[in-house]
Structure 1
Amino acid sequence: MNSKELKMQKYFDATTSAVRKQDGFIYRLISGTLFINIFVYAIFGYSLSTSQLHYNRLAEIATQNMAKALDTNLCDIFDKIDIGLSAVGFESEKQIARNGINKESLNAYIAKQIHQLPGLYGIRVTDIQGNLLYGTDIPDGKPINVSDRDYFRQLRENSHQKHAVSKLIQGRISGKWNLTIAKRINNPDGSFAGIVLGMFDVNYFDKLFSQIDIGKNGAMGIRDPDFKLVALQPKGEEPGSQIGSDVISKKTRDMIRANPITATYKTVFARDKKERMVTFRKATNYSFYVFSTIAPSDYLSAWRKELIIALILAICFTLTTVTSAYMMLKSNVTTLLHAEAQRYGEEMRQQNEELIAAMLRIKRLEGIISICSHCKKIRTEQQNWEQLEKYITEHSDAMFSHGVCPECAKAHYGISV
Structure 2
Amino acid sequence: MMALLQWAPRYSVHIPEIDVEHQALFGVLNDLWAATERGSDKQAIVAAIHRVSETMRNHLRHEESLLEQWGYPRFNEHVLEHQKLLLQLDTLVASAVSNDKREMEINELDFISNWLCAHIENSDKDYARFVAEKEGGGEIAKSSPSWRQRIAASVTLSRSVMAALILITMAVDIIVVGLLSYGLNATRNLQEREIRATVESTALLLDHNISESVSKIDLVLHEVEDWLEHGHSVNGRIEAREANKFLDNRKSWLSGLANFRVTDEHGTILYSSGTSSPESTSISDRDHFIVHRENKRSGLFVSNPILTRIGHEWGISLSRRYNNPDGSFAGIISATIPIDYFNNLLSAANLGPNGVALLRDGDTGLITRYPASLSPSQQIGTKVFSDELGQAIASGDRARSFHTQHTGDGIERLNAYRRLSAAPFHLVVGMGTDDYLARWRSDVAKAVVIVAAFLLLSAGSVWLLWRLFGLTKKANNSAQLVREIAKSKQQLSEAHRIARLGFIELNTISGIYSLGEGTQDMLGIDPTLKSGSEEDVFSNVTSDDRAQLVGLLSGKSGSCFDLELRIGVRTLHVLGEVNSEPTAPAMIVMTLQDITDRIIAEQERAAMIERIAESDRMEALGTLAGGIAHEINTPTQYVTDNIAFMNDGISSLLDLAESVKAVKSMEGDLVGVKKNLDSLDLDFLKAELPAAAAQAQDGTLRISKIVQAIKEFSYPSSKLPHPIDLNHLIDVVATVTRNQWKYVADLEFDLDPDLPKISAIEGEINQVLVNLLVNATHAIAELGSSSLGRIEVKTQSLGDGVELTVRDSGAGIEPENLKQIFELFFTTKAPGQGTGQGLAITKAIIHRHGGQITAESEPGSGACFRIRLPLEIPAASFEDAV
Q: Which moved more, 1:181-190 or 1:125-134?
A: 181-190
1:53 is the counterpart of 2:189: yes
Partner of 2:234: 98
Q: Is the 8 A contact 2:215 2:422 kept in 1?
A: no
Runs (5+) with no aligned partner, structure 2 = 1-70, 77-144, 477-882
- Report the CA distance shift for 1:227/1:294 in structure 2 as closer, same or farther (over 3 A): same
Per-residue deviation, residues 256-285 of structure 1 (Å, max 9, x unmatched) = 112342221112354213221111111103
Which of 294, 301, 312 is the matching residue for 1:175?
312
Spell out the pairing of 1:358-369 with structure 2 (5 A cutoff): none
Which of 193, 198, 205 is the matching residue for 1:69?
205
Q: Is the 8 A contact 2:388 2:402 kept in 1?
A: no
Which of 386, 406, 409 is the matching residue for 1:249?
386
Spell out the pairing of 1:14-413 with structure 2 (5 A cutoff): 14-99=150-235, 100-118=237-255, 120=257, 122-136=259-273, 137-141=275-279, 143-326=280-463
- Report the CA distance shift for 1:150/1:260 in structure 2 as closer, same or farther (over 3 A): farther
Report the alpha carbon displacement of residue 145 of structure 1 after superposing the two structures with TM. 1.9
- The alignment partner of 1:185 has SS state of strand
Q: Which moved more, 1:299-308 or 1:318-327?
A: 318-327
Report the alpha carbon displacement of residue 185 of structure 1 after superposing the two structures with TM. 1.2
Per-residue deviation, residues 339-386 of structure 1 (Å, max 9, x unmatched) = 98xxxxxxxxxxxxxxxxxxxxxxxxxxxxxxxxxxxxxxxxxxxxxx
Q: Is the 8 A contact 1:170 1:178 kept in 2?
A: yes
Report the alpha carbon displacement of residue 11 of structure 1 after superposing the two structures with TM. 4.8
- The alignment partner of 2:455 has SS state of helix
Q: Is the 8 A contact 1:132 1:138 kept in 2?
A: no
Report the alpha carbon displacement of residue 156 of structure 1 after superposing the two structures with TM. 2.5
Amino acid at match of 2:309: R
Report the alpha carbon displacement of residue 13 of structure 1 after superposing the two structures with TM. 4.9
Q: Is the 8 A contact 2:288 2:319 kept in 1?
A: yes
- The alignment partner of 1:40 has SS state of helix
TM-score w.r.t. length of structure 1: 0.72
Structure 2 CA distance for aligned equivalents of residues 118 and 45 of structure 1 = 55
Q: Is the 8 A contact 1:151 1:166 kept in 2?
A: yes
The structure showing larger relative contact order (alpha-carbon pairs under 8 Å, at least 6 residues apart) is: 1
Partner of 1:355: none
Report the alpha carbon displacement of residue 314 of structure 1 after superposing the two structures with TM. 1.9
Structure 1 CA distance for aligned equivalents of residues 406 and 384 of structure 2 = 9
Per-residue deviation, residues 122-153 of structure 1 (Å, max 9, x unmatched) = 21100011111211434433x22222222222
TM-score w.r.t. length of structure 2: 0.35
Q: Is the 8 A contact 2:359 2:368 kept in 1?
A: yes
Structure 2 CA distance for aligned equivalents of residues 37 and 119 of structure 1 = 67
- Report the CA distance shift for 1:225/1:268 in structure 2 as closer, same or farther (over 3 A): farther
Per-residue deviation, residues 380-409 of structure 1 (Å, max 9, x unmatched) = xxxxxxxxxxxxxxxxxxxxxxxxxxxxxx
Q: Is the 8 A contact 1:280 1:291 kept in 2?
A: yes
- Report the CA distance shift for 1:121/1:78 in structure 2 as closer, same or farther (over 3 A): closer
Amino acid at match of 2:354: N
Report the alpha carbon displacement of residue 20 of structure 1 after superposing the two structures with TM. 3.5
- The alignment partner of 2:253 has SS state of coil
Partner of 1:414: none
Report the alpha carbon displacement of residue 324 of structure 1 after superposing the two structures with TM. 4.4
Amino acid at match of 2:278: D
Amino acid at match of 1:290: L
Runs (5+) with no aligned partner, structure 1 = 341-417
- Report the CA distance shift for 1:286/1:269 in structure 2 as closer, same or farther (over 3 A): farther
